[in-house]
Amino acid sequence: MTAALATFNQVFRGRRLALLGVGWLIIVAIAVVFAPWLTPYDPLEIDPVARLTAPNAEHWFGTDHFGRDTLARCIYGARMALLIGLGAVVVSLVGGTLIGMLSAYFTRLGHVLMRVVDVAMAFPALLLALVLMTILDRSVTNTIFVIGIVYTTTTARILFGMTLKLKNEVFVDAAVVTGAGHPSVLFKHILPNLISPLLVQATFIFAFAQLQAAALDFLGLGLPPEIPSWGNMLAESRVYVTRASWLLMFPGALIILTVFSMNLVGDALRDAIDPRFKDDIAGV
Amino acid sequence: MFAYTIKRLLTLIPTLFAASVLVFAFIHLIPGDPVAVLLGDTATPEEIAALSAEMGLDEPIYIQYAYWLGNVMQGDLGRSIFFQEPVTRVIADGAETSILLALMTMVWIVVLGVPIGVIAATRHGGWIDQIASGGAMFAASIPTFWLGLYLILIFAVTLGWLPSSGFPSVFDDGGLANLRYLLLPSLTLAAPNSALIIRLVRASMLDVQREDHVRTARAKGLHPAKVALKHVFRNALVAVAAAFGFTFAALISEAVVTETVFSLPGIGRLVVESILRRDYPVIQGVVLVIVCLYLVINLIVDLAYAWLDPRVSLK
């Protein structure tokens, strides 16, 4: 615990903005866990009498065209944001790490796998996501999967470069000489050195995933429309934007704050990691 | 340089080939009979039989691919179900809007991104640098469509200065004045991409500043502005040139959203509407065109990079 605090202090010392970012992310986490206790309203409950009510004492963030409470939907939307962000991080880090590490370690396999990655990277990110969503149905799992796949390629390329650097280090030679097998060298000796850059990459993927998910929702190709996500709320607000600007303002501000905070945290972490890997990870 | 050009061209071919296989496979991955998928719900049995024969559906899959690639090589990307026109014509109709939008966005990126990046680097660590870097990161955190909707709300709805949607061709009435329709969309698209360029210009300027030739220039007693522009900026620009390839890719992706927000008749919106209409031949055609364009632009950028910095081709 003391060690964790010391590391935290080392990363965030003198970075007030990044600390504010951490603070915001903690608030989002609280909203995720305590959503039902934070608002008396059900995010799905329709109230035709109260439709398009401006923010007031009863409905702090106003209501939408069905009279649903915007604050309640924003709070429950945080759950979706976290789910999509973490899901995309897990899919892309697991896939990207395996592809990148194996490709760098086994050169012949790498020739094939990295060409596949090159081809996938020939498709611009959102276009690839759109095409994949054409084949799949609109659902939470598919959205996570699609965004995860898109960032798997970037992660694989980054991990490939990092593993190549580590592969020739003396400690890897030492492990091989003492009789360690391939799995042991890869996962016991190389992988632990990649954990901190992976953590940095995770923050950036989380941030990008929020923007991609919101864009997919807005285009009508992301989460099913009945799910209260920040992106879906913005997509619905488009029609009422001149009459009810709060519908645009609140979910948008939440996305921006979350993405900005994650980017700030990622930036602070990147500055604190092993200088060998600094140039490999591209944030915003 | 010649050898590098040839080598780079040779790596493009397998990538293009593999990408074309993926785009071809796309139609076969959609649940249902590919012919029914391509012709839509209104197709007659005769039409289905005719297209099946043309695509060689009774042949093995690689022969089908060869038929398709043969047609693509001759400029035949199929027929749109919705427009009942060749896909090439549908794409050509949207090209003017998308190309002009991309060009205007690039102008904004250069005009906004490069100077701010240079100023941030020359004031490294100061409050100008902190505002520029923090502002760039903030701009990159804004969803493009949200920014677009807000710009419409402010400049089109409230102030009434600029049109909120659509784009009449510059060849129609109004001529070049029609470009004002692209002002808000191009600013929307430029915001996150300028942010990227600001950070890149700043980072590469700081890198170059640490090099020996810059120290020599300073030691000679050159004016700081001259050192910054002539010695640092010129060298830093090489790294920035490479970033324009990535920026272009980001532009294509985000144009899909921006063109939808501003209802522009471009290729980006065509992709989204074709997906919603299930007009698969158009999706397939547009994706193929964009991927080819993207690969070719990256090739040009790589070659320009090698030309600007001869060390690259020697590696």
State pLDDT tens for residues A204-260.
Answer: 999 999 999 999 999 999 999 889 999 999 999 888 888 888 889 999 999 999 999
Predicted confidence band of residue A274 (pLDDT cuts 50, 70, 90):
low
- Tell me which residue range forms the domain holding A125: 15-30+70-89+119-154+194-277
A69 phi and psi angles, rounded to 5 deg = -70, 120
Cβ atoms of A16 and B134 closer than 8 Å: no
Measured from the Cβ of residue B157, the count of other Cβ atoms closer than 10 Å reads 12
**Hey, is the C-beta of A260 within 8 angstroms of any chain B C-beta?**
yes
Question: How far does A77 lie from chain B, in Å, by closest CA?
Answer: 16
Q: How confident is the model at residue B312 (pLDDT cuts 50, 70, 90)?
A: low
Are A70 and A34 within 8 A, CB to CB?
no
- One CATH from 1.10.3720.10, 3.40.190.10, 1.20.58.220, 3.90.800.10 for B88-308: 1.10.3720.10
From the list A97, A109, A102, A206, the residue with the least C-alpha distance to A159 is A97
Locate the domains of chain B by residue range.
16-73, 88-308
Enumerate residues 6+ apart whose C-beta is below 8 A from A214. Answer: A222, A229, A230, A231, A234, A255, B143, B145, B146
Q: In which band, very low, low, confident or very high, does the pLDDT at A54 lie, cut at 50, 70 and 90? A: confident
Residue B25 sits at the chain A interface (C-beta within 8 Å): no
* A35 domain residue, yes or no: no
Contact state of A221 with B196 under an 8 Å Cβ cutoff: no
**Cross-chain Cβ contact A127/B195 below 8 Å:** no
What 8-state DSSP symbol labels residue A54? P
B211, B267, B271: which is closest to B236 by C-alpha? B211
- Asked if the Cβ–Cβ distance from B141 to A256 is below 8 Å, we say yes
B138 contacts on A by Cβ (under 8 Å): 256, 260
In the predicted model, what is the mean pLDDT of residues A10-27?
Answer: 88
A119 and chain B in contact, CB less than 8 A: yes
- B116-164, pLDDT tens digit by residue? 988 898 888 889 988 998 999 999 999 999 999 999 999 998 898 988 8
Residue B60 has pLDDT above 60, yes or no: yes
| Cα–Cα distance measured from residue A241 to residue B149, given in angstroms and rounded to the nearest whole number | 8
Query: By the CB < 8 Å criterion, does A126 face chain B?
Result: yes
Q: Judge: B26–A130 Cβ closer than 8 Å, yes or no.
A: no
Share of chain B above pLDDT 70, in %: 96
- Structural domain count, chain A: 1
Is residue A177 scored above 60 in pLDDT? yes
Instruction: Indicate the SS3 state at residue B122.
Output: helix
pLDDT in tens, B220-260: 888 888 888 788 887 777 777 777 766 776 787 778 999 99
Token pair 């060849």 is found at B171
Q: Is the pLDDT of residue B315 over 60?
A: no
ipTM associated with this complex: 0.88
Q: Residue B221 forms beta bridges with which residues?
A: none
Mutate to test the interface with B, among A126, A138, A264 (most CBs of B within 10 A): A126
Q: Which two tokens stand for residue B107?
A: 């102008």
Are B287 and A127 inside 8 Å of each other by CB? yes
CA distance A275 to B153: 45
Residue pair A84/A210 in contact (Cβ under 8 Å)? The answer is yes
Residue of chain B whose Cα is closest to the Cα of A115: B15
Chain B CB within 8 Å of residue A239 CB? no
Q: What is the pLDDT of residue B195?
A: 87
Could you tell me the pLDDT band of residue A279, with boundaries at 50, 70 and 90?
low
* Residue among B14, B137, B152 whose CB faces A284 most closely: B137
Give the helix/strand (H/E) hosting B214: helix B212-219
**Tokens 């909707």, residue?**
B149
Q: Please give the pLDDT value at position A77.
A: 92
Residues in chain B within 8 Å Cβ distance of A241: 149, 152-153
Task: Supply the pLDDT for residue A111.
Answer: 87
In terms of CA atoms, which chain A residue is nearest residue B298?
A122
Kindly identify which residue of chain B lies nearest to residue A210, measuring between CA atoms: B143
3-state secondary structure of B246: helix
The tokens of B210 are what? Answer: 């640490």
Do the domain assignments include residue A228?
A: yes
- B175 burial level (CB within 10 Å; 0-12, 13-18, 19+): exposed
3-state SS, residue A69: strand
Residue A211 CB-half CA count within 13 A: 30
Is residue A77, in this structure, part of any structural domain at all? yes
- For all residues of chain B together, what is the average pLDDT? 85
**Which of B12, B145, B256 is the best mutation test for A, with the most CBs of A within 10 A?**
B145
Task: From chain A, pick out residues whose CB is under 8 angstroms from the CB of B141.
Answer: 207, 211, 256, 259-260, 263, 284
Confidence of residue A278 (pLDDT cuts 50, 70, 90): low
User: What's the token pair of residue B82?
Assistant: 């919705």
pTM (2 d.p.)? 0.88
- As a whole-number percent, the residues of chain B with pLDDT over 90 amount to 22
Stretch A7-35: mean pLDDT: 88
B29/A219 CB distance under 8 A:
no
DSSP per-residue string spanning A99-146: HHHHHHHSHHHHHHHHHHHHHHHTS-HHHHHHHHHHHS-S-HHHHHHH
User: Which has more confidence, A242 or A25?
Assistant: A25
| pLDDT tens-digit map of B64-115 | 888 889 988 898 888 888 888 999 999 999 988 998 999 899 999 989 888 8
Residue B277: is its pLDDT beyond 70? Answer: yes
B19 in A contact zone (CB under 8 Å): yes
> What pLDDT is recorded for position B161?
93
Q: Report the candidate in A81, A64, A69, A65 with the shortest Cα–Cα distance to residue A27.
A: A81
Chain B residues near residue A256 by CB distance under 8 angstroms: 138, 141-143, 146
Please indicate, yes or no, if residue A282 is contained in any of the structural domains: no
**Dihedral sign, CA of B73, B270, A213, A24?**
positive
Cβ contact (<8 Å) for A220 and B276? yes
pLDDT of residue B248: 72
Contact A284 B141 (CB under 8 A): yes
In angstroms, the Cα distances linking B210 to A275, B14, B216, B236, B294 are 17, 40, 11, 12, 34
> Percentage of chain A surpassing pLDDT 90?
44
| pLDDT score of B146 | 94
pLDDT: which is higher, B300 or A159: A159
Smallest CA–CA distance, residue B216 to chain A, in Å, is 26
